[in-house]
């Protein structure tokens, strides 16, 4: 099933608590450290507002805002930011006109029981590597059930 089809199955929004956000961020940071990547990690709530932010020392300063923007995109658009990147790469230039849309891999919704509770955004290395760290955070959330 495509990311777009999956996003249409999500029925609503929930809430991520700070403790769950810490575990998600810790997993993404741990993956970055394991790989030797300096990354910034943002966890936002379902509305795209910042819940938690952390970064590895020496992460480029631009990644502070980029990680938050990727997370906000994933929460508000109910799909990974990579889906917007793929649409843009496929010629869907209208993506560029969507407010607050960051079409770069590294933002992923956080879903529990079919509801978006927030999103994770990672920035600091290549967008594909950011996506690897974000996925580690998503997998940590799944283990909290």
Domains of the chain: 12-142 (3.30.450.150)
Share of the chain above pLDDT 70, in %: 92
Whether residue 145 is predicted with pLDDT greater than 90 in this model: the reply is: no
Give the pLDDT score at 26.
98
Give the pLDDT band (50/70/90) at residue 4: low
Give the pLDDT score at 12: 78
pLDDT band of residue 13 (cuts 50, 70, 90) is confident
Confidence of residue 113 (pLDDT cuts 50, 70, 90): confident
pLDDT reading at 11 higher than 70: no
Write out the E strands in the chain. Answer: 12-13, 40-45, 50-55, 107-112, 115-123
Q: Which residue has the higher pLDDT, 51 or 100?
A: 51
What pTM was estimated for this model as a whole?
0.91
b/e map of 95-117 (b: 16 or more CB within 10 Å)?
beeeeebbbbbbbbbbbbeeebb
Classify the C-alpha dihedral 66-67-68-71 as positive or negative. positive
* pLDDT value at 10 more than 70: no
Mean pLDDT of all residues in 114-129: 96
Whether the CB-CB separation of 5 and 38 falls below 8 Å is answered with no
Instruction: Over range 125-134, report the average pLDDT.
Output: 98
């Amino acid at each position: 099933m495509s990311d777009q089809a999956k996003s249409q199955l999500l029925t609503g929004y929930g809430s991520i608590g700070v403790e769950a956000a810490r575990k998600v961020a810790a997993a993404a940071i741990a993956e970055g450290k394991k790989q030797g990547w300096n990354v910034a990690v943002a966890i936002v709530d379902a509305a795209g507002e910042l819940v938690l932010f952390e970064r590895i020392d020496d992460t480029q300063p631009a990644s502070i805002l980029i990680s938050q923007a990727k997370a906000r995109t994933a929460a508000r658009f109910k799909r990974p930011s990579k889906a917007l990147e793929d649409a843009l790469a496929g010629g869907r230039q209208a993506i560029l006109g969507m407010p607050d849309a960051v079409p770069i891999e590294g933002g992923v919704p956080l879903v529990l029981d079919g509801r978006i509770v927030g999103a994770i955004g990672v920035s600091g290395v290549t967008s594909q590597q950011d996506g690897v760290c974000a996925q580690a955070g998503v997998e940590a959330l799944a283990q909290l059930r």
